Amino acid sequence: MTKRKEVAMLLISFGAICMIAGVLIATLSTLRRGRLSQSRRIRRDAPRQTLEPSGEGDRLNLMGDLPGIGLIVIGVVLIFVGA
């Protein structure tokens, strides 16, 4: 019975590490793409002091954050298997 508890604790620990790593990877990949409130090309007629992005929301995309989301999902599965 002790061996089973050790395996469960390892699975939960690896799951928590995967979840934290997934959040960090997703956050860093989004931040690496640039500021969210500015587009890559600034129009001359657009006001500069605005919270609204002047272009498309290309900084947030699912495909760029897929490795981080995948690690989060793997972490959740490991935690549920270990519990």
pTM given for the model: 0.66
Write out the two tokens for 76.
């959740």
User: Measured in whole angstroms, how far is the alpha carbon of residue 14 from the centre of its chain?
Assistant: 17
Class of residue 53 by CB neighbours under 10 A (exposed 0-12, middle 13-18, buried 19+)? middle
Q: State pLDDT tens for residues 15-56.
A: 999 999 999 998 888 777 766 555 555 555 655 666 665 655
Number of other residues whose CB lies within 10 A of the CB of residue 82 = 17
Please report, for the chain, the start and end positions of each structural domain, with discontinuous segments joined by +: 16-33+64-83
pLDDT score recorded for residue 4: 87
Cα–Cα distance between 79 and 83 in angstroms, integer? 6
Q: Which is more confident, 1 or 27?
A: 27
**What DSSP character marks residue 45?**
S
